[in-house]
Amino acid sequence: RAYEQVAEFLKPEHFAVEQHAKVYQAAEKLIDHGQIADPVTLKRFFENENSLSEIGGPAYLTDLAASAVTVINAREYGRIVYDLYLRRELINLGEDVVNGAYGGEVD
C-alpha cells in the first residue's frame, strides 16, 4: 500500500499545492478509519465535509487519479515531495535572513 510507505515521514503540510495537501489529509483520515482511499471514497468524504468544490470538484479527483504514480515507487515519490518541502523551507529561511540584514541597524 502506498500510504504505508510514506506515512512515517510525509505530512499534509509538505505539499506545495493546497489541494494536494487536502486530498492527502483526507486519505489519511479514511485509511486511519480502516477505509480505502480512492477517488470514489475521497469524493464521498469531501461531499460529506461540504468541501468538494474547494479541491476542484470531482474532475480534480479524476485527473489526480489518472496521473497517480504506481504503488511501487510511492516511497521515492513521497521523498521527492518531502525534499522539495525542505528546499522551500530553506528558501524561506534564507529570504528571512536577507530581509533581516536589510532591515538591521548600521553600527
Domain of 37, CATH number, reads: 1.10.860.10
Q: Given this model, what pLDDT does residue 71 score?
A: 76
Domain residue limits at 44: 2-103
Helix axes 18-32, 39-48, angle to 10 degrees: 100
The phi, psi pair for 69, rounded to 5°, reads -85, 165
Model confidence at 27: pLDDT above 70 = yes
Predicted pLDDT at 65: 86
Name, in order, each residue with C-beta under 8 angstroms of 53's C-beta and a sequence gap of 6 or more: none
Instruction: List all residues 6 or more positions away from 78 whose beta carbon is below 8 Å from its beta carbon.
Output: 5, 6, 9, 10
pLDDT at 68 over 90: no
What is d(CA 105, CA 34) in angstroms, rounded to the nearest whole number?
A: 57
Residue 88 has pLDDT above 70, yes or no: yes
Task: Give the model's pLDDT for residue 95.
Answer: 95
The residue with greater pLDDT, 103 or 99, is: 99
The mean per-residue pLDDT over the stretch 46-56 comes to 94
Q: What percent of the chain has pLDDT over 90?
A: 79
Counted domains in the chain: 1
Share of the chain above pLDDT 70, in %: 95
pLDDT greater than 90 at residue 72: no
